[in-house]
Amino acid sequence: MKRATLAVLVLAWGIFLSGCTAAEKKRSREVAAEQREAELDLKSMAEAPKPLRRPVLLLTGWMEPPSNWKRFRDFLESSTCGCEREIVCLDLRGPGGLAAAVEKVLAAGELLGEVDVVAHSAGGLVAREAARASHGERRLRIARLFAIATPHIGSPWGKFWPIVPYPLQAADCRPASDFLASLAGDPSTTSMPITNYWAEGDVVVPRESAQAVGSEHFAYSRPKGFFIHRRCAGDPRLARDVIAALLR
C-alpha cells in the first residue's frame, strides 16, 4: 500500500514538473498579480464587514483536512461581523464511502437549519446527496451551494481508488460509480442554486466534470499541475468572489 501510494505521488510530481515551461512561468507571474489584486479587494471588504445572511457550512473534499480551508476561513471571518460561530467546517474524511460523510453533514444540518454551503471537491457531491428529498425531514436545507472543483460526473483519478487513502470515498468519485449514478437520477439534488468554480489545468477534476451541473460557472487560470486541485480552496480570487456572493 505504501509503495503504491508513493508511486502515485511520484507520478503527480512528474506531471507538475512537466508544466514548468517558460509559458507556464509567465502565467505564474500573471496569476500572482491577479491574486495580489484579489487580496487587496479582500482587505477592502474587511474594512467594512457585513453580517452573513445564514450560517455557512464548509465541506472538505476527499483526503483534504479542515486546515485546507484555513485561508478561505480567515478571509471570510475578516469580511463578516460577529459571525464566527456561524461558520462551521466539517472534516468529511473517513474509512467509509461518501455516504458516511453525508451522515456527518445531516447531523450538522439538524443544528444549523438553512445554510449556504461552500464545498471543495467531493464535498460538493456530499452536499448534493445530503440535500436529496429522499432524506425527508433530515435533508440538508441548502439555500446556495458553491462547489469548488467538484467532480459532478466523476474524477479520472477515481480509478486509482484501491491504492489511495480513503479508498471507498475515491471509488465513489469514479465516473461510473453507483453513488454518482444515483445523484444524476434525482432532480432534487440540483434544486438549490449551484455555482461551480474550477481551475484551468486541474488534472484531478477537469473542466467538463466540474461544470456538469449548476446555474453558474467560473474558471480561474492557473499553471497546470497536480497540486492545483488542493490549492483551489485557498485561492484569494475565488475567496473574494465567493465571499462577495455570500454577503449579497
pLDDT, tens digit, 9 for 90 and up, residues 172-223: 999 989 999 999 888 888 778 899 999 888 888 988 899 888 878 998 887 6
Q: What pLDDT band is residue 77 in, cutting at 50, 70 and 90?
A: very high
Selected residue with higher pLDDT from 29 and 68: 68
Residue pointed to by grid coordinates 474509512: 95
Share of the chain above pLDDT 70, in %: 90
Q: Does the structure show a pLDDT above 60 at 225?
A: no
Q: What pLDDT band is residue 10 in, cutting at 50, 70 and 90?
A: very low
Q: Does the structure show a pLDDT above 70 at 82?
A: yes
Q: CA-to-CA distance for 46 and 188, rounded, in angstroms?
A: 36
Mean pLDDT estimate for the chain: 87
pLDDT, tens digit, 9 for 90 and up, residues 136-185: 999 999 999 999 999 999 998 888 888 888 999 999 999 989 999 999 88
pLDDT, tens digit, 9 for 90 and up, residues 106-123: 999 999 999 999 999 999
**2-31 CB burial, b ≥16 within 10 A, e <16:** eeeeeeeeeebeeebeebeeeeeeebeeeb
